[in-house]
Structure 1
Amino acid sequence: MIPEEATLEERILAGLDDEQRLVATTLNGPVCVLAGAGTGKTRAITHRIAYGVHSGVYNPQRLLAVTFTARAAAEMRTRLRDLGVGSVQARTFHAAALRQLQFFWPQAVGGELPNLLEHKAATITEAARRLRLNTDRATVRDLAAEIEWAKVSMLTPENYAQQAQHRGSPAGFDLVTMARVFQSYEDLKTDRNFIDFEDVLLITVGILQEDPRVAAAVREQYRHFVVDEYQDVSPLQQRLLDLWLGGRDELCVVGDASQTIYSFTGASSRHLLDFGRRYPQAELIKLVRDYRSTPQVVQLANKLLAARRPAGAGADAAWSQPLQLIAQRSEGPAPSFVECADDEAEAATVAARIRELIDSGVQPAEMAVLFRTNGQSEAYEQALSAAGIGYQLRGGERFFARKEVRDAILSLRAASRVDNTYHEGQSPTLPQQVRDVLASLGYSEQAPNGGGAVRERWESLAALVALADELSGSRGAAFALPDFVSELQERAAAQHAPTVQGVTLASLHSAKGLEWDAVFLVGLSEGLMPISFADDAEGVDEERRLLYVGITRAREYLSLSWSLSRTPGGRANRKPSRFLDGLRPGSTETGRSSATRSAAARATRKPPAVCRVCGSALSTGAERKIGRCSNCPASYEEATFEALREWRLEEARSAQLPAFMIFTDATLIAVAETKPASLEELASVAGVGPSKLERYGEAVLQVLQED
């Protein structure tokens, strides 16, 4: 209990543990906070900002807090507002740079700022067509990701091919072709006076480097910086941060190298790990008290990272010593490890367990099913629907894009402009006003029976009501309906959606920064976790960190499951993930080859150079793909080859591509002859690269199983 006579500063610091309090009271930089999952890092840094402002050390208009997603920035602004420092700016790198660019463009460049290209897909598709390259939706997505990686790594079309040798074949194209697509995309943007989000950072960096007046103005405006999720900084973002600082050290960074899971986008934990070398005088503070998860969940997370073994100089240098989390919650149930016969049985088992938890009182919104790839969601959508359990697909339709939500905001805005009073003259509370307005759109205190569109509509409206209850409690009686409408508009812009009653289905990557009472980690078999195209030791390490992120999303209940076969009645050729060795009952850490040796073996595997039948040297690309010379008899079954060709034809028609761009005949022959039984085995077939493996691998294995 906080004494009534406590000062404002004391009230801000109340409730922080010793390490969090040290963060909050260390107001001058440089400061590096290593914060493990669930240790209250956002609480520590927002209280640091509030304490600094209220104690007079910080001018709120001259402090910039930076994070990596619009949702996280919106959450930080909400917390700062609740602490009485709502004037502090909390933005993403892109939002902060765009605001500066809009202000300084007229004086630094002249004229109007080019239009912002919010979506790349159409422009990239046209850029590829100019080069007479056929693309489908998945290919365009891969091309966009590669261009974004190149730009945040500060590469240009001219030096991309030379600097991206380690990237393999992005989107199935060689590096020279990829560079041509990159150049074509840049030319199209220039012709149409567009810039993309990466250009916002690049141009801002260029102006700050070249115009001393602009640089001086920005450095005068911002004296103190706080950067959250610092392990996810890209080289381009780090360069921008350096220019903002201008050689000063009033910087507080917060991160956890064990949660680095976006290396494929250009993020690097090196900036976090090397912070002490760059700033030898920096204050280093570690947050290791985990307030989120039970001791059982925390122990499993610690064991997963501790099980990692040396993997060579390069990988070991990139791997940091993990923080040893210390659980602060009371005991909970032990994590469960579930082996199922096939994917369908796994989904049904998960749905049944979710039903048990709902019946025991756990809210559906406090449960999540997390998987490695988005393609795994369908089985769980079907299983939950069959069980009558509502769900929301994270990464699907955005909350604020739903028709009922748009209608609700319009109605609330209209209501906020009129005098909402009861006949007896007393003003209703905000929650009651929101309920009254949304009642006209179908909201009721009692949820409708059944599921479907009616239930989904009610859940959307109920989420708005719950948000009104929450904000009314935290902001006080002065928080009125116009304030609530403004809050909704800000959240819509940041896609900071309220909680919807339904089980969350999400990929492990999209679950970062979230937490639930119960988490189901599914599909934990070799080839999916780690993913088959994690073909070197560093890639496998990142997959281990990704599973760690998944585990640490759980507060109390944690289930880890895998299946032995893809389809009912199929061959049981799958194995549980190597990461579960030593964690699941009956397994040991030495029960299988190390992740490093396995990854290295895949990385160095070469297509056969001699015929597997007669031993003669193979002279053509087609022979090397098949693995035998053209004079030796074929060893595949004609029915298998025809089944693969029929599948390829259907896939080509669906994607409107030539059949050979799916797989060549030589590759199909090699598949038919080797009959791979897993994604890992399929990856060893010449002509099956990482992109095609992810896009078509499961379908090819299905054809082979059905044959």
Structure 2
Amino acid sequence: MSTVADQSAADRLAAMAAKDILVVAPAGCGKTQALAQRAARLLNDRVVTAPRKILALTFSNKARDNLSSRLKEILPPAARARVTVTNFHGLAGRLVRAHGDVIGVDPALPFPERGAYQRLRAAAGLDYRTAAAATAAAEKALAQAKTRLQDDDAVMAQVTASGARLAVAYERTLREAQQIDYDDLLRYGARLLADLRVARLYREHFAVVLVDEVQDLSPLQLGMVQAIGAGRTTYAGDPAQGIYSFAGARPATVFAEIRATKPAEVGLDVSYRSSPPVLHAVNQLAAELGATQLRCADPDRWPADCGVELRVFKDTTAEAEALLSAVRQDLADDPNRTVGIMVRNFRRLTDTIRALDDADVAYQDWYQPTIVPQIAELMHRNLPEALSASDDRAEQLAALETLCRHQLPPDDAQTLDELSVACEALGGTLDVRPLQQTLAAFRLHTTSEGPVPPGLHLLTGHAGKGQEFDIGYVIGLEEGGIPDFRSTQGEALAEELRVLHVMASRARHRLVFTRVENRWRTPSWYAPEQPSRWWDLLNEA
């Protein structure tokens, strides 16, 4: 594929006829804006005319809201009504409500809710107290069974045959509660679109389909897209950002199936996000992946302090102390900065979190669930009274939940559920740190398309996808850390490199990589750490 200048590529994409198009767009290249411009052009040029509409499908809520906000900027209200923007679960829900009886599913069945879903998982033994190996086996068995076009009986038979005890317990718990989970909802939607009568209705209703973040799709989701938009779909994404295999995504398979339809291809290769030094490091990783090399849109606009640094520490304690000092300086220089400390596995942040807590440095912990502002405000208001009720952390939390519940309308089921979810998350951390520290670290949920708020953020590479930070710290570049010790060959290793690439591409001004010579503080456990196999590659940057 020949790559063209970014603006000309976006203009060319906007003007293309309603046919299959594949847009390969690395992070920071304006992919979402290009999709919004294409929708506007199709409507303005009357390629799509009433009563038919455009269907824009996204993988996540954030991507959905981001695309919606771009459409608001460039389309008048009447035209915006002609574009249906939804994620795959939203589309599946629409299908079930309208046509569920076609496959023997009650159209009025309750859809998954976060709080109920977490409680059902815990009831089946799938929570933070479960051994990692048992959880992984259960998740694998459930994913394999629920990402196929099969009915509920076939799912249960496959889960049972897998021998994953917790997966069987979870599936039975779901059915006894007469509930479904998010994978079930997608499976029902895909089964409905496999029915030609249903698919024909949606092909007639939607003249064009736009798909964002296509590398995150499972083959099941791709089948849903093609059932509606075969020959009329614009796919946008980047194979180098495919990091969700654990959720059923198959980037190589999905891109191969799309390319088999002989789509026109458009490449975006100009970055509007990162400084030239950061892009150089990102390009080093992209070259190893065989992915697109990026050019900086305006190299001269970046300040002189932009750069990339690699730092080595004796152990994680020394690393944590250095990170604490560096972050303090970063935020002292500019309190409005966004600083992200990113890691492959959140356990690697243990010493860093301890150092931040001991120094009373504020941060947002992305490992914790988000809390809606109403719940956060309610909890903070009642926290002093809850803390005074007891010295026992569990009793403090119980008092806090009781106080908050008494101040909410008894029929406000959604807000009560959000309170329950927040309290469950707090309860899982009480053996690590006091209630007030965990509550302070919870990340407030704002609008999904909103930028990351100023300050320090702790997160994994997967959580950081789609975000950006003025300064990015990527820690843990030891063999066994990045790449993870369980993923050292084949496609699993390739995905580890993609995770590292995603983390690096979050940074705007400055990027720092770290590793330690010893991850164990106990001398008897001392064993020299090998640097990540990609350390030298980054050192060249």
When residues 162 and 284 of structure 1 are mapped into structure 2, their CA distance, relative to the original with a 3 A threshold, is: farther
When residues 325 and 139 of structure 1 are mapped into structure 2, their CA distance, relative to the original with a 3 A threshold, is: same
From 514, 529, 541, the counterpart of 1:561: 514
From 376, 380, 396, the counterpart of 2:368: 396
Secondary structure of the 1:71 match is helix
Identity of aligned residues (%): 24
Secondary structure of the 1:335 match is strand
Q: Which has the higher contact order (CA 8 A, sep 6+)?
A: 2
Which residue pairs with 1:269 in the alignment? 251
Q: CA deviation at 1:579?
A: 0.7
Which residue pairs with 2:206 in the alignment? 222
- How far apart are the structure 2 equivalents of 1:258 and 1:162? 36
CA contact (8 A) 1:347 1:380 kept: yes
Higher gyration radius (CA): 1
Which residue pairs with 2:297 in the alignment? 328
Read off the aligned partner of 2:66 and give its amino acid letter.
E
Q: CA deviation at 1:291?
A: 1.4
- How far apart are the structure 1 equivalents of 2:509 and 2:379? 37
CA RMSD, Structure 1 to Structure 2 (Å): 3.6
Q: CA deviation at 1:404?
A: 4.3
- How far apart are the structure 2 equivalents of 1:82 and 1:526? 46
Which residue pairs with 1:292 in the alignment? 273
Read off the aligned partner of 2:18 and give its amino acid letter.
N
CA contact (8 A) 1:233 1:271 kept: no
- How far apart are the structure 2 equivalents of 1:306 and 1:361? 34
Q: Deviations over 1:117-170 (max 9, x none)?
A: 4354544555579xxxx9727567535532442145318799899999xxxxxx
When residues 537 and 159 of structure 1 are mapped into structure 2, their CA distance, relative to the original with a 3 A threshold, is: farther
Secondary structure of the 1:194 match is coil
CA contact (8 A) 1:529 1:543 kept: yes
The number of aligned residues is: 468
- If the length of structure 2 is used for normalisation, what is the TM-score? 0.77
When residues 37 and 209 of structure 1 are mapped into structure 2, their CA distance, relative to the original with a 3 A threshold, is: closer
Q: CA deviation at 1:529?
A: 0.5
Counterpart check, 1:340 vs 2:325: no
Counterpart check, 1:90 vs 2:85: yes
- How far apart are the structure 2 equivalents of 1:393 and 1:110? 39
Q: CA deviation at 1:109?
A: 4.2
Q: CA deviation at 1:503?
A: 0.6
Counterpart check, 1:255 vs 2:237: yes
Aligned 1:452-463 pairs, distance under 5 A? none
Secondary structure of the 2:23 match is strand
Read off the aligned partner of 1:322 and give its amino acid letter.
A
Which residue pairs with 1:33 in the alignment? 23
Which residue pairs with 1:377 in the alignment? 349
Read off the aligned partner of 1:28 and give its amino acid letter.
A
When residues 522 and 128 of structure 1 are mapped into structure 2, their CA distance, relative to the original with a 3 A threshold, is: closer
Q: Deviations over 1:286-343 (max 9, x none)?
A: 00111111111111111123346xxxxxxxxxxxx31111122426533110001111
Q: CA deviation at 1:205?
A: 2.4
When residues 101 and 159 of structure 1 are mapped into structure 2, their CA distance, relative to the original with a 3 A threshold, is: closer
Which residue pairs with 1:167 in the alignment? none
Q: CA deviation at 1:94?
A: 1.0
Which residue pairs with 1:621 in the alignment? none
CA contact (8 A) 2:452 2:469 kept: no
CA contact (8 A) 2:101 2:107 kept: yes
- How far apart are the structure 2 equivalents of 1:185 and 1:390? 37
When residues 353 and 124 of structure 1 are mapped into structure 2, their CA distance, relative to the original with a 3 A threshold, is: closer
CA contact (8 A) 1:231 1:255 kept: yes
Which residue pairs with 2:331 in the alignment? 358
Long gaps (5+) in structure 1: 1-14, 165-173, 309-320, 409-451, 465-487, 588-707
Q: CA deviation at 1:58?
A: 2.6
Give every structure 1 segment of 4 or more consecutive aligned residues whose post-TM-superposition deviation is greater than 6 Å: 155-164, 452-460
Q: CA deviation at 1:349?
A: 0.9
- If the length of structure 1 is used for normalisation, what is the TM-score? 0.60
Aligned 1:520-539 pairs, distance under 5 A? 520-539=473-492
Long gaps (5+) in structure 2: 381-434
CA contact (8 A) 1:400 1:406 kept: no
Which residue pairs with 1:445 in the alignment? none
When residues 512 and 106 of structure 1 are mapped into structure 2, their CA distance, relative to the original with a 3 A threshold, is: same
- How far apart are the structure 2 equivalents of 1:208 and 1:339? 53
- How far apart are the structure 1 equivalents of 2:136 and 2:438? 36
Which residue pairs with 1:24 in the alignment? 14
CA contact (8 A) 1:121 1:140 kept: no
When residues 459 and 240 of structure 1 are mapped into structure 2, their CA distance, relative to the original with a 3 A threshold, is: closer
CA contact (8 A) 1:148 1:265 kept: no
Secondary structure of the 2:470 match is strand
CA contact (8 A) 1:404 1:457 kept: no
When residues 569 and 193 of structure 1 are mapped into structure 2, their CA distance, relative to the original with a 3 A threshold, is: closer
- How far apart are the structure 1 equivalents of 2:536 and 2:454? 35
Aligned 1:423-462 pairs, distance under 5 A? none
When residues 386 and 86 of structure 1 are mapped into structure 2, their CA distance, relative to the original with a 3 A threshold, is: farther
- With 533-542 and 107-116 compared, the bigger mean Cα shift is at 107-116
Q: Deviations over 1:216-261 (max 9, x none)?
A: 222222121011111111021112222223xx31100001111111
Read off the aligned partner of 2:207 and give its amino acid letter.
R
Which residue pairs with 1:177 in the alignment? 163
